[in-house]
Structure 1
Amino acid sequence: MITDTEHMTLMRDAFPLLNDPKILAENLRIWRTDSTKIAYDFIQEGLRDGSITTEYPQEAAELFSLLFNYWLAPNFYPITTLSEFKHRIHCLGLIMDSLGVPLIDHDSDMEDRLAEGFFLLASNPQ
């Protein structure tokens, strides 16, 4: 079984492929379609069980996909410190909270763990 650290390292090592216009275009398509559909399905599940209260399920899914796949990706919006990643992830959580889609448990270590994963994406391969 692959660990979270190994997964993030594999993703980091694949990021240079996004310099290829065809690969970038395909990723953008996937982020707009497949990734948004997955987020939308989770939001719909949350609406059914009452854990999500948004009046904007499609828009929230699109924003989540856009921000998570593009805004948090260090090769598009570079961040150089772990504290900057924590701040950005906290901001993403607040945005989603305001839409009625509580994405992050702010009382847990979830923000720290996400920030550490994205910081690993930003690091240079050893």
Structure 2
Amino acid sequence: MARNKHPEQTLEQILSVSAKLFTEKSYEKTSIQDIIDALGMSKGAIYHHFKSKEEILEAVMDQQFSYAAEMLNHLIVNTEAPNARLKLIQILENVLADPKAHTLDKVLSHQIKNPQFVLTGMKNGVEKDAPIIAGIMIQGQEDGSITTEFPYECAEVFMLLINIWINPTLFRRNRAETISRLTFLQQMMRSLGADIITDQLLQKVTEHHASIGGYQ
């Protein structure tokens, strides 16, 4: 493959091929040389954009987070429901069902043991996703479908627990232990006045972790 004369296209090719290799071979077993060979580019073309494999992973992660954010915004605008609670439930289920949003979950499930990744995930959840979810909760306060008095705090706690605490890889949990914690989160959110975790969503989250090999 000849080197693309357009830098933005070259960058996209690097990220696309790298993501595919990270998923198929694992991040640890993929070398820079593997990426170079798969691209058919010169080593200089890769190092023009990235200094290391770690930088490539960070860029791939950023791309994944950006897509997820765009998808969430799209769903908020286009999801119709009788009330805000049902709208939020539909959004959460659609996010989980979108395969493109979870392309790298198998890769990231192993990287979650990396402290920097955990911190990045926590910050993204609290600073970017939680305010969006809180906005829908406020709409729920207005239509009576959500009764929490602390929509922002409730949304932040939900994102921290669902993204980090629930993850079985980080805490070396089996399926039963993960289901127990999901059930606790479901009841906790209900008691806080934000009954947004349905049994169907609980089951889908459980199956998703199984599909990426998250259970110990």
TM, length-normalised to structure 2: 0.47
CA deviations 1:30-88 (Å, max 9, x no partner) are: 1221122122122112222221011121221111011111111123222212x332222
Instruction: State the 1:120 CA deviation.
Output: 2.8
**Given that residues 111 and 117 in structure 2 are in contact (C-alpha distance below 8 angstroms), is that contact kept between their aligned partners in structure 1?**
yes
Q: Relative contact order (C-alpha < 8 Å, sep 6+): which is higher? A: 1
Structure with a larger share of its residues in helix: 2
Q: Percent identity?
A: 26
2-structure distance, mates of 1:89, 1:24: 19
Unmatched runs of 5 consecutive residues or more in structure 2: 1-95
**Given that residues 172 and 215 in structure 2 are in contact (C-alpha distance below 8 angstroms), is that contact kept between their aligned partners in structure 1?**
no
* 114-123 or 19-28, which deviates more: 19-28
Which of 168, 177, 190 aligns to 1:97? It is 190
Partner in structure 1 of residue 174 of structure 2? 80
Q: Please list every run of at least 4 consecutive aligned residues from structure 1 whose deviation after the TM superposition is greater than 6 angstroms.
A: none
Q: Secondary structure at the match of 1:76?
A: helix
Partner in structure 2 of residue 14 of structure 1? 108
Instruction: State the 1:22 CA deviation.
Output: 4.0
- Correspondence 1:100-115 to 2 at 5 A: 100-106=193-199, 109-115=200-206
Instruction: State the 1:94 CA deviation.
Output: 0.3
Partner in structure 2 of residue 65 of structure 1? 159
Aligned residues: 119
Whether 2:131 is the aligned partner of 1:25: answer: no
Unmatched runs of 5 consecutive residues or more in structure 1: none
Whether 2:208 is the aligned partner of 1:117: answer: yes
**Given that residues 43 and 52 in structure 1 are in contact (C-alpha distance below 8 angstroms), is that contact kept between their aligned partners in structure 2?**
yes
2-structure distance, mates of 1:60, 1:73: 19
**Given that residues 72 and 118 in structure 1 are in contact (C-alpha distance below 8 angstroms), is that contact kept between their aligned partners in structure 2?**
no
2-structure distance, mates of 1:21, 1:85: 21
Q: Secondary structure at the match of 2:183?
A: helix
2-structure distance, mates of 1:116, 1:26: 25
TM, length-normalised to structure 1: 0.75
